[in-house]
Structure 1
Amino acid sequence: MSKKIVPSMVKDQQLIKKRREQMIKGAVRLFIEKGFHRTTTREIAKESGFSIGTLYEYIGAKEDVLYLVCDSIYDQVTERLRVQLETTGTAMKRLETAIRAYFSVVDDMQDEVLVMYQETKSLPKETLPYVLNKELEMVEMIETIIRECVANGELDRKEQEVKLLAQNILVQGQMWTFRGWVIQKQYSLEEYTELQVRQLLGW
């Protein structure tokens, strides 16, 4: 599944990167407030700090903005998760550290994660599989370290349980955002993370 090439009339790659980062930040704020379908490209341009004409120099359609938002969020979360999984220590310690780091990333990027959770379904059918596959790559990264824990005798899980645990870790992290309206009134991030680590790893 290949990455979508978003059209741009500008050739300067650094400028494209800068403008699209502005666009992503502006779009996230609007998508949180109004949703993707009720947000216009004119509003995205204004929120991003440039004209509608300038906006269309860097994208072909409004759907491209949503694609860029989702792609950027998955890249950031995946990279920060990968860094933790590649640290030294026992497999179990690395898994625990990765869970804590992932929950921290979700907290740092609450608006972005909420947009990803709510608006991915609005992506065009030709780009949706690519974006969803990026989430599966995150799950597979977590599955790999869980299997290492099992192989080392640090965790007792059958293969089906490994797959479900990886999904649960991902969803429990996201829940901090999409159920934040109630959970964040009951727990601090530290309390929530500690309880989830214990439940997820059966401590």
Structure 2
Amino acid sequence: MGRRSDHSREELRELILEEGHRQLSEVGFARFSAREVAKRIGYSIGTIYNVFGSYDALLLALNGRTLDVWLAFLEQRLAGREERRLDAAIEAYFDFALGCRHAWTALYDFRLPEGTPPSQDYRDKVAAITGVIVREIAAILPPGLGGEALPLARSLLASVHGHCFFALNGTFAMLGETDPVGAAKARVADALARFGAG
């Protein structure tokens, strides 16, 4: 296919991200093809690498798009809710993972080469999602324990993620767990109760 020059660099970046994220969400990380993205937008594969620099940078940007969508989904689920906000956040975690399964799993399937840190922009996106949970935990911790919110958020996110991943891949079904969301909520409540949080 011949080269095109119909779009500015920023327009091209958005075009690639839009089609790339659509494809990633449809077929998953293992079957994702940058060449197919190029074909569908009518540009060469070289154009994609010219815009993003590398395949790894493209995948990181696509995962960053997933994080943006996830953050908006989470905040929307919490908007206007006054009670049991952490329960709502846990439900949102499971619902997003189930509804956007391929894009969600790509966040964990894709790895940068060892020793290559993600961009600051990507780290900021991860921190934004973690920050929502830190905020919600800090709001229910007793006075003077606000410093525990970040380490608690990390551990509780790991626990919820494990429950969610086991639910999606069928492990919980094999173990006889019929309510993984309820189990995740119970483990979070147990952990928070040790700090006197209701």
User: TM-score over 0.5 for the alignment?
Assistant: yes
When residues 162 and 193 of structure 1 are mapped into structure 2, their CA distance, relative to the original with a 3 A threshold, is same
Amino acid aligned to 2:72: E
Extract structure 1 runs of 4+ deviating beyond 6 A.
12-15, 187-190
User: How do 1:1-203 residues align onto structure 2 when only pairs under 5 Å count?
Assistant: 10-11=7-8, 17-27=14-24, 29=27, 31-33=29-31, 41-46=34-39, 49-53=40-44, 56=47, 59-60=51-52, 61-90=54-83, 93-122=84-113, 125=116, 127-151=118-142, 158-159=145-146, 161-175=148-162, 176-177=164-165, 180-183=168-171, 185-186=173-174, 191-202=179-190
When residues 129 and 19 of structure 1 are mapped into structure 2, their CA distance, relative to the original with a 3 A threshold, is closer
Indicate the residue corresponding to 2:196 in structure 1. none
Instruction: Give CA deviations for 1:28-55 in whole Å, capped at 9, x if unaligned.
Output: 535234xxxxx76324435xx3445277
Which whole-Å CA distance do the structure 2 matches of 1:13 and 1:178 have between them? 39
Maintained 8 Å contact 1:84/1:97: yes
When residues 121 and 51 of structure 1 are mapped into structure 2, their CA distance, relative to the original with a 3 A threshold, is same
Which whole-Å CA distance do the structure 2 matches of 1:178 and 1:55 have between them? 39
Deviation at 1:74, TM superposition (A): 0.6
Deviation at 1:174, TM superposition (A): 3.2
SS at match of 2:8: coil
Aligned residues between the structures: 183
The TM-score normalised by the length of structure 1 is 0.69
Which whole-Å CA distance do the structure 2 matches of 1:20 and 1:105 have between them? 20
Maintained 8 Å contact 2:34/2:45: no
Which whole-Å CA distance do the structure 2 matches of 1:138 and 1:190 have between them? 27
SS at match of 1:59: helix
Amino acid aligned to 1:22: E
Percent identical: 15
Cα RMSD over matched residues? 3.8
Which whole-Å CA distance do the structure 1 matches of 2:179 and 2:119 have between them? 35
When residues 80 and 123 of structure 1 are mapped into structure 2, their CA distance, relative to the original with a 3 A threshold, is farther
Structure 2: state its 5+ residue gaps.
194-198
Amino acid aligned to 1:84: R
Structure 1: state its 5+ residue gaps.
1-7, 34-38
